[in-house]
Structure 1
Amino acid sequence: MEDKQILKAVADTFAGSKPLYEMVVPVRWLPMVPEPVFPKRTFLDRLLMRPIPPPAPAPETHRTLIFYPCVVANQYRIAGECALLPDAIFNDDSMNISLIPEHQKRIVYIVASAIQNNHLEPDPELMLFIERNLTGEQLRDALVASFQSLNMEAFTDTIVLMRPMVKILKPEETSQN
């Protein structure tokens, strides 16, 4: 059994389908889901021994968020949003807490895009789940994992270096702003 797991890990690494980061989040809030109403069993149901419908599943207590390497279409989406984040997020590893309220929607969008990881816009329910259930520290870890899924180390260096270069190359435009 152990050999098969090693072979699967090697295959996942070569195929690029190995998760980069997993985060287990305790569920504090879920959207209100109405409980299913089961129809009453008639005499005929009992006589024919039709099965009883299963009870409603128990609400989840934890959810695992998994970050995979980004697909190309998703890289454009995340990189575009990351370019709009302030430099302080990239320069300060502790991610200054004062930046969160102003840029929370963008950060949640980036994290949801990295988790969903396809060419579509992130699901609004996923964004709401992230907003309502992740702590500030978990959101920071998820943002770092989003950068890693995009291989953002080089990208963040480029963003930090690109803004001063714009001032050097076009001083007349930056002085008017």
Structure 2
Amino acid sequence: MKIHKLSSDFKNQVQKVILLVFVLVLAVLFSQKLVLANSVTYEVDFVKSNQFVRGPYPEGRVEQSESSVLVKYEPVYFSIYSPRHFKQAKVTIRYKKTADLKSQLGLKLNLNKWAFFFEDLPETGDQFIEYELIFDLANAEYFKNNIKFIIAAPGIDSHKGVIEIDRIKFDLLK
């Protein structure tokens, strides 16, 4: 029986390949956490799910239609995955709502359990409008790498009101 020994050159080459694969795997994992670009963008069109955006929730407050969601009760939340801390969030929402329904989009703050910073959503008439809001994330609450946004419309259920959202985009900016 003949025993074959591996040459030291072959062993060195195998070690280099293993080391290179290990470094590449680490680089990919690190780059996902690091976010080398200046921003991260998540868009939700309510036709297909987005693994980085959870919401709107809780489910009993919204109704899914073919390509949009109807907010029938408030508040409704969105949780956005943030791989790192960012300076600003630009939220672009395309929606229409019942006339005279006061509604707001807000950001969960880290000050206390119920602290939110709200911006009013303007009237839409009977047409969809696209509206852009910018939030400063300096005091945003990051919980398990998620930032929480809220849509509030006091009295939406008692006034038989509705907010229909067909697209929402979250841009996290350095």
* Same fold (TM > 0.5): no
Question: What is the TM-score normalised by the length of structure 1?
Answer: 0.22
* Structure number having the greater helix percentage: 1
Q: TM-score, normalised by structure 2?
A: 0.22
Q: Which has a greater percent of strand?
A: 2
**Bigger relative contact order, structure 1 or 2, given CA contacts below 8 A and separation 6+?**
2
